[in-house]
Structure 1
Amino acid sequence: MTSALRLLVDHPDLFRWDTGLDRADYIEARYTVGSQLDGETTAVAMAMEQSAAITAIRGYVEPDALMRASTVRVLSVDALDAPAMSDIAPYDGDPAQHDPARARLWRIALAIPLRLLPARPTQLLNGVVGDMPRYGFITRFRLEALAFPESGFGPGPGFGVAGLRQRFDVPRGPLLCRPQRPAVGIDIDTMARLNHDVLVGGCHLVKDCELQAFADDEAFAAHVRAMAASRDAAADRAGEKKGYIASLVCEPDELASRLQIAHDAGVDGVLLAPMLQGLGTLAWVAKQGGMPILAHTSCSELFTRHPGWGIAPTLLNAIFECYGADMVIAPGGFGDDGIAGEWSQPGATAAPRALPLLQGGKQPAGLAAYRRAIGGDDYVLNVASWLDVHQDGVEAAARAFRAAIDTQA
């Protein structure tokens, strides 16, 4: 048994919900957990791990009012009928008892004091996940949902649905975007020409690839200025607004200068990878204002793809939205089957909310399914393959895809 579990006998009441407490002082977190232990013991151990691992040290620590206001509390524990089998091997205790078939699956809700989550993006995941998955008796762990307070947790999207539609001058229908690919092995002039031609054909915007790397600020500036110039030339030729999103996937000490370079070059948005660069980076850029943010999934699917381990993709996107993302990327092949999923239609008059970006082999024939899945046309289509292999070339392909969008809208 772990040291924390040996101490459960001391003050277990400090880790169970007390009706005398005010729910407004807590954020509710819901988990699906596979455990070798019973649900109540598992839940209390999780609560201890994320707050006070010990509640009494003679001469130093007492279970007083401050301690009582600082501990994570168990709200509910429910057994699930689904099997708890996992590829994660348990450890601790008697190895002879490590039978995967012993594990049970539990739905656990914890109340986490807001005083432990001081509206700081880095502290959020540290507080609601932290070291809980390290427990040797836990064989599955997924953070499923968070009940965010109505205010005080992050800046939220600076533009949202209505703001993005206005910025890109697309009053209805999905926004058609082509990502830069190949991201390596071609020069700036070729990238600019490729962007220009798909924009002239009908794409509303283009974006950098997260894999593009720049040796220094001068190289980055040369790139974004060339892409912005090709966007402007395409807008002049097409007679409509066009957009370009620049990648800010870079080192922390490069971020401020590159954001300024992007702003000065007149880019229409920036791309960040929050699970690579940190939620704090996302929130910081959002607070600078003036620039829509696309939250990229680089490294994110390490946390979201396995159904029994990590963070629910819907929740992770909600966290990105909370801390300033205006566009978030839907998981995998979302939308292809037309089954309603993570996003209901917010509508252009709703409060600022992130637009989902759909990718992964999207094509004109799927537009009706994408609309059903989203519940409307408030989304971005990130399309490359269908355009790149079209027999008539990328400009004609973009024109055909755009015609299908306009016809549906």
Structure 2
Amino acid sequence: MTRIFADYELESPVSLERAAATIAGEQSSGTFVRLPNETDDLRSRSGATVEQIVVEDVRKTPSLPCRLDSDRFERGRIRLSWPIETMGPSLPNLLATVAGNLFELAEVSALRLLDVTFPDAFATANPGPAFGVAGTRALTGVDTGPMIGTIIKPSVGLNPTQTADLVADLVRGGIDFIKDDELQANGPACPLEERVQAVMRVVNRDADRTGKKAMVAFNITGDIDEMKRGHDIVRDAGGTCIMVSMHCVGLAGMLALRRHSDLPIHAHRAGWGLYSRSPDIGISYVAWQKFWRLAGADHLHVNGLSNKFSEPDDSVQASARAVLSPLFENGQGLEAMPVFSSGQTALQLPGSIAAAGSQDFLICAGGGIMGHPGGVAGGVESMRQAADAVASGQSLGDYAQDHPALAKALETFGGRVG
């Protein structure tokens, strides 16, 4: 395949056929008038092609403010394609093509990018995840079952020593994974280098004692040079993971970091609501996560079931399964590890396993672990017991009868899940 395909949900004050043609022209070789050098040959070689149009609904009013007057707004699905020769296998330039000026066109009263299909050339030109599921499991020593993680909060206010003291409690409790909050990177209250040194002394000492090293994702979000320096600080201290807020560093930042990195990259999706919350404009996570996997993200946040945000559970499920799905038909899957988070407890674990269709995921619980009556160890154990209940084919209630940590979680967090 040498063409890139993109699927959209489109609403327009003109016919979908006309709107699709306008988008195809705007996002390839066309302009608002035909120019002398815009020959038929040029259009056939470099123009976008409208592959499919399906009208699904007709409305009397626009979903978004619209400059063109109409009493008929067609809504449905369209598929466009572009020749790869016009941009090459470049992720930033592809993004400008499939999600650029088209959102602003007067002929568009609603538009969402639903999916993108990449030619195989993108698999060889872009680095993809270096570690993914298998590499993350190898580094943490968690061979089976979900990885159990948590988040260090508050994001500001804890100095490096206080942060290390909290990490000491977490590793003593048997946690697999710890991440910085997305708001805590390299601020003066808790500088990255001092935080890394203090935390890794604790983690390395525990690993020497137990033979199992907790993975800590240090937030190194910054400019490209700053991220490279932060990566080296973490690596040289014996750390096994770095974290970035992917929308803040951009595709170019992620690509540069991936090509420099010797560690798994934990990609936080802070700001995702800007792209996703409206049903009438934005980008589906099913499409968006593909860009970030190609750019090198090993872990990708997908929200969580019964979360504290606005995203429904079916969307979370679709996101988790997308992150674990192969990207290419040529055997290069480039699968990453989905990360469930946001108000998670042991009660969400069975649903998370069902949602992902796998136990190859990381679930981060803050209050669900540290708020457990048995402390961190009780919280971690309750999460593991919930996964064991699924493996044994029992309900959480039945399994909890002989497993006190899970029983306490059900008693404490029972109101979290309907």
TM-score (norm 2): 0.82
Equivalent position SS for 2:181: coil
Deviations 1:308-364 (A, max 9, x none): 2111112212221121111111145379969953444669x9954101001122211
Letter in 2 for 1:301: G
- In 2, Cα distance between equivalents of 1:234 and 1:182: 24
Equivalences for 1:63-82 in 2 at 5 Å? 63=39, 65-81=41-57
Query: Which letter maps to 2:265?
Result: I
| 1:42-57 mapped onto 2 (5 Å cutoff) | 42-54=19-31, 56-57=34-35
1:329 lines up with 2:298 in the alignment: no
Once the two structures are TM-superposed, the CA of residue 396 in structure 1 deviates from its matched residue by: 3.4
Q: Distance in 2 between matches of 1:406 and 1:34?
A: 47
Once the two structures are TM-superposed, the CA of residue 273 in structure 1 deviates from its matched residue by: 1.9
Partner Cα distance (2:343, 2:378) in 1? 18
C-alpha displacement at 1:283, in angstroms? 1.6
Q: Distance in 1 between matches of 2:332 and 2:367?
A: 33
For residues 204 and 300 of structure 1, the distance between their equivalents in structure 2, rounded to whole angstroms, comes to 26
Aligned equivalent of 2:283? 311
SS in 2 for 1:259: helix
Q: Secondary structure at the match of 2:57?
A: coil
- For the residue of structure 1 that corresponds to 2:39, the secondary structure is coil
| Cα distance in structure 1, aligned partners of 2:306 and 2:255 | 26
Q: Displacement, 1:38?
A: 0.1
Instruction: Map 1:249-264 to 2 at 5 A.
Output: 249-264=221-236
Match of 2:106 in 1: 136
Counterpart in 2 of 1:105?
75
Within 1, Cα distance between the matches of 2:223 and 2:313? 38
Q: Which residue of 368, 371, 380 corresponds with 2:353?
A: 371
Pairs within 5 Å for 1:263-274 = 263-274=235-246
1:174 equivalent in alignment to 2:146? yes
**Equivalent position of 1:401 in the other structure:** 383
Q: What does the per-residue CA deviation read over 1:3-61, in whole Å, with 9 as the maximum and x for residues that have no partner?
A: xxxxxxxxxxxxxxxxxxxxx33101110011111011000000111012337434xx1
Kindly state the Cα deviation for residue 90 of structure 1 after the two structures are TM-superposed: 0.0
> What displacement does 1:192 show?
1.0
| Greater percentage in helix | 2
C-alpha deviation, 1:178, in angstroms: 0.9
Q: CA deviation at 1:98?
A: 4.9
1:208-227 equivalences in 2 (<5 Å): 208-215=180-187, 219-227=191-199
The answer on 1:240 being equivalent to 2:217 is no
SS state at 2:52 partner: strand
Deviation digits for residues 139-190 of structure 1 (CA, Å, limit 9, x no counterpart): 2110001111234342111112211111111110001111111111121111
In the other structure, the counterpart of 1:4 is: none
SS in 1 for 2:255: helix
For 1:138, what is the secondary structure of its paired residue? coil
Structure 2 counterpart of 1:30: 7
How many residue pairs were aligned?
Answer: 376
CA distance in 2, matches of 1:70, 1:137: 22
Q: Is there any run of 5+ residues in structure 1 with no aligned partner, and where?
A: 1-23
Match in the other structure for 2:137: 165
Residues 265 and 258 (structure 1), Cα distance of their counterparts in 2 relative to 1, 3 Å cut: same
Q: 1:32 to 1:364 in 2, by over 3 A?
A: same
State the AA in 1 paired with 2:15. D
Q: Is the 8 A contact 1:200 1:237 kept in 2?
A: no
CA–CA separation in structure 1 for the residues paired with 2:70 and 2:157: 50
Against the structure 1 CA distance between its residues 228 and 392, is the aligned structure 2 distance closer, same or farther, given a 3 Å change threshold? Answer: same
Residue 277 (1) aligns with residue 259 (2): no
Deviations for 1:196-231, whole angstroms, at most 9, x for unmatched residues? 211221210111111014248x93211112222222
Q: Distance in 2 between matches of 1:313 and 1:138?
A: 21
- SS of equivalent to 1:69: helix
* Post-superposition offset of 1:398: 2.7
Query: Structure 1 pair 332/241, CA: closer, same or farther in 2 (3 Å)?
Result: closer
Q: Deviations over 1:110-156 (max 9, x none)?
A: 01121233222211210111100001231211000111123434211
Q: Identify the match of residue 157 of structure 2 among 185, 190, 208.
A: 185
2:201 is matched with: 229
* Deviating more after overlay: 41-50 vs 396-405: 396-405
Residues 270 and 231 (structure 1), Cα distance of their counterparts in 2 relative to 1, 3 Å cut: same
State the distance in 1 between where 2:388 and 2:45 align: 56
State the one-letter code of the partner of 2:370. Answer: D
* Structure 1 partner of 2:64: 88
Of 137-146 and 79-88, the range deviating more from structure 2: 79-88
Point out which structure has higher relative CO (alpha carbons under 8 A, 6+ apart).
Answer: 1
One-letter code aligned to 2:96: N
Are the aligned partners of 1:200 and 1:235 in contact in 2 as well (CA < 8 Å)?
A: no
Whole-angstrom distance in 2 between the partners of 1:399 and 1:190: 24
Contact 2:110–2:281 (8 Å) recurs in 1? yes
Could you tell me whether the CA contact under 8 Å between 1:272 and 1:296 is conserved in 2? yes
1:64 CA drift (Å): 5.0
Determine the C-alpha separation between the residues in 1 that align with 2:306 and 2:41: 48
- Normalising by structure 1, we get a TM-score of 0.84
Paired residues of 1:205 and 1:242 also in contact (CA < 8 A): yes
Provide the secondary structure at the position in 2 that maps to 1:278: helix
Compared with structure 1, are the counterparts of its residues 83 and 337 closer, same or farther at alpha carbon in structure 2 (3 Å cutoff)?
same
Identity of aligned residues (%): 26
Q: What's the offset of the Cα at 1:85?
A: 5.9
Cα gap change, 1:86 to 1:193, in 2 (>3 Å)? farther
The two structures, once aligned, show a CA RMSD in angstroms of 2.7
Residue 84 of structure 1 and its aligned partner are, at CA, apart by 8.4
- Residue 207 of structure 1: aligned partner: 179
